[in-house]
């Protein structure tokens, strides 16, 4: 249960970062697709992946 909660908190953190940095370009469906795309990954890998996704959306 602890690992689940830690994962939930990290996803909330990267979502907040994405919403802040992307503003109107943020799409919750695309965010969820990106989070789930590679299945279960370590949280540091997920964070790096979402950082790359944010950069790609900024163009």
Close Cβ partners of 46 (under 8 Å, ≥ 6 residues apart) = 10, 11, 14, 35
Instruction: Assess whether pLDDT exceeds 90 at residue 59.
Output: no
First to last CA, the chain: 38
Whole-model pTM? 0.91
- Averaged confidence pLDDT in the chain: 97
DSSP state string for 3-59: HHHHHHHHHHHHHHHHHHHHGGG--HHHHHHHHHTT-S--HHHHHHHHHHHHHHHH-
pLDDT in tens, 28-58: 999 999 999 999 999 999 999 999 999 999 9
* Unique residue bearing structure tokens 């996704």: 53
């Amino acid at each position: 249960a602890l690992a689940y909660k830690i994962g939930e908190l990290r996803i909330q953190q990267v979502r907040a970062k994405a919403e802040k940095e992307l503003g109107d370009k943020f799409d919750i469906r695309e965010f969820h697709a990106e989070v789930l795309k590679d299945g279960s990954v370590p949280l540091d890998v997920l964070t790096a992946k979402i950082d790359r996704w944010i950069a790609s959306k900024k163009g």
